[in-house]
A and B are shown apart, each in its own frame.
Chain A
Amino acid sequence: MSADDDLVRRCLKGRADAMRELVERFQPEVFALSVRLLGHRHDAEDVVQEVFLRIFRSLKRWDATRPLRPWILGITVNRCRTWIGRRKRVPEPVEYLQDVPSRPTDVPSDELTTALRAAVGELRGEYREVFVLFHEHGRSYEEIAEVVARPVGTVKTWLHRARLEVLTELQRRGLAPTDPEPATRP
């Protein structure tokens, strides 16, 4: 029996200590992914609560033959998609936009990082998901395919297109010098 399987069994028995252990184990990654996909910390905190509620309500349906992390990240991605869709339908008040900008302001003020985050924020939903999971969470193609429930080939295609869009945006912002490097003399 794997560690994940043992933890899930204890959670299904209703043990509060097991529930806390599962939250503490996966909450950092769930929160970071939510911030990167939503671009807002407060939204990410609300989504994290929703994610874990959904995790514990559907824990019985988890396939014990598969690892737990991709399943949890998949729920996170789905909740973020729902949140983004809801945010688009409901007009946000002006005060909200002024006080809570759509781009995180508490990230490092490095220009490159900010520009990179802006470029990633401009990507379409599924491109942004695979880009963040690969470049910012270090997940493999196979793991990303399981999270987003798509074939590996589709994930590769989406990621390559996402990279090209980000690289183009970096060049547009002038953050990618194009001057040829001087040839080095032997």
Chain B
Amino acid sequence: MTEPAPITCAAFEELVQRVLDREVPLAALETPHAITCAACRGLASAARVLATTPTSSFEAPVELADRVTLTVTGDYRTRQRWRHAARAGALALAASVLFAGFLSLRPAEQLEVVKAPPRQLPPSPRVADRFADAGSAIASITRKASDQTVAPTRQLLPTTATPFAPMGDVPGVEPVTESLASVPSSAKAGFEPLATTTRRAMNLFMRDTGLSTTPKPKS
């Protein structure tokens, strides 16, 4: 039967660790190597002391639990109060920032309004004014027409300011398409002097300008 190989000091030290780890029993330290090696023998002896010496027990003071509980509950309440205060402060700060932002926007809007003058739309014309303007326009047209008709009769010689068309293009005074006889007597009375005057004026003009074929009466 072969004898087991002698273990080395390193291996014995490993064995001591396994004993203290409670992997192997304390009796495993009783090896031939421990008998022959003084260093390993001392190690084994110290390991037995360590493994067999009871650990000290330390009892806490009776009131320590009360003291600690009082401290932690008081600390919890204080932190809750600070948390609520911080939340309220944060809300107030946020509201102030929003309000300040709102105020800072408003002056800019007012400046923009001042810079551009407001567009003033013309007041819408009154209906009465429109009728009055129309009446004035008709009256002026009528006056103008009568002035244009009567004015040349006031002059013996027509002015050259009035532009004339080329002689070939001068249209002759067209005969009255309708005689005054067809006009009612009351209207006829009103138009008679105008018509006579107008006819006379035109004949004089045409004779003097050479457009008329009617010979000039001897003076």
Which chain B residues numbered 67 to 116 have a C-beta less than 8 Å away from chain A?
67-69, 71-73, 75-76, 79-80
Q: Which residues of A contact B80 (CB under 8 A)?
A: 14
Report B11-30 CB contacts with A as 1/0, cut-off 8 Å: 00100110010000000001
Q: Is the CB of B64 within 8 A of A31?
A: yes
CB of A128 within 8 A of chain B? no
The interface residues of chain B lying within 8 Å CB-to-CB of A168 are 46
With beta carbons under 8 angstroms apart, the residue of B49, B71, B79 that contacts A175 is B49
Min C-beta distance of B140 to chain A, whole Å: 96
For the complex, is B196 an interface residue (Cβ under 8 Å from A)?
Answer: no
- Residues of A close to B135: CB separation below 8 A: none
Looking at chain A's contact residues, the main secondary structure is: helix
Residues of A in contact (CB 8 Å), total: 47
Pick from B50, B64, B79: contact of A57, CB under 8 Å: B79
Instruction: Give the residue of B41, B50, B79 whose beta carbon is less than 8 angstroms from that of A116.
Output: B50
Closest CB-CB distance, B34 to chain A, in whole Å? 8
Contacts of B117 in A (CB 8 A): none
Contact B49 A176 (CB under 8 A): yes
Q: Check A177–B17 contact: CB distance below 8 A.
A: no
Distance between Cα atoms of A23 and B47 in the complex (Å): 36
- Tell me the bound Cα distance from A110 to B68 in angstroms: 32
Q: Which of B41, B55, B76 contacts A19 (CB 8 A)?
A: B76
Cβ of A48 and Cβ of B38 under 8 Å apart?
no
Find out whether the CB atom of B58 lies under 8 angstroms from the CB atom of A177.
Answer: no
B167 at the interface (CB under 8 A from A): no
**Contact A36/B45 with A163-B20, A178-B38 known, Cβ cut-off 8 Å:** no
Cβ 8 A contact of B75, one of A24, A57, A112, A176: A57
Most chain-A CB neighbours within 10 Å: which of B34, B35, B55, B75? B55
Question: Of all chain B residues, which has the CB nearest A28?
Answer: B60
**Residues on B with beta carbons closer than 8 Å to the beta carbon of A181:** 30, 35
What sequence of 0s and 1s flags, for each residue 36-56 of chain B, a beta carbon within 8 Å of any chain A beta carbon? 001001110111111001111
Q: Are A32 and B58 in contact (CB under 8 A)?
A: yes
A113-B54, A178-B38 are contacts. A19–B75 as well, Cβ < 8 Å? no
Once A35-B58, A48-B60, A57-B79 are accepted as A-B contacts, the answer to whether A178 and B53 lie under 8 Å apart by CB is no
Please report which residues of chain A, range 137-164, place their CB below 8 angstroms from some CB of chain B when the two chains form the complex.
160, 163-164
Hey, which chain A residues are within 8 Å of B43, CB to CB? 167, 171
The residue that A112 contacts in the complex, of B17, B47, B53, with Cβ under 8 A, is B53
Q: Which residues of chain B are near A164, meaning CB under 8 Å?
A: 13
- CB pair B72 A176 closer than 8 Å: no
Q: Shortest Cβ distance from A37 into chain B, in angstroms? A: 11
Given contacts A14-B80, A31-B58, A166-B46, 13 further A-B contacts (CB under 8 A): A23-B69, A23-B72, A24-B65, A28-B60, A36-B56, A53-B71, A56-B72, A113-B53, A113-B56, A164-B13, A171-B45, A171-B46, A181-B30
Q: Which residues of B contact A (CB under 8 A)?
A: 13, 16-17, 20, 30, 34-35, 38, 41-43, 45-50, 53-61, 64-65, 67-69, 71-73, 75-76, 79-80
Q: Which residues of A are at the interface with B, using a C-beta cutoff of 8 A?
A: 14, 16, 19-20, 23-24, 27-28, 31-32, 35-36, 41, 44-45, 48-49, 52-53, 55-57, 104, 107-108, 110, 112-113, 116-117, 135-136, 160, 163-164, 166-168, 170-171, 175-178, 180-181, 183
- Sorted from nearest, which 8 A-B pairs have the closest CB atoms? A176-B46, A167-B46, A176-B45, A178-B42, A31-B60, A170-B46, A35-B58, A136-B55
Some 30 contacts from A to B, beta carbons below 8 A apart, are A19-B69, A19-B72, A20-B65, A23-B68, A23-B72, A27-B60, A27-B64, A28-B60, A45-B60, A48-B64, A53-B75, A55-B72, A56-B72, A56-B76, A107-B56, A112-B53, A113-B54, A116-B53, A117-B56, A135-B50, A135-B55, A167-B43, A167-B50, A171-B42, A171-B45, A176-B42, A176-B49, A178-B41, A181-B30, A183-B35
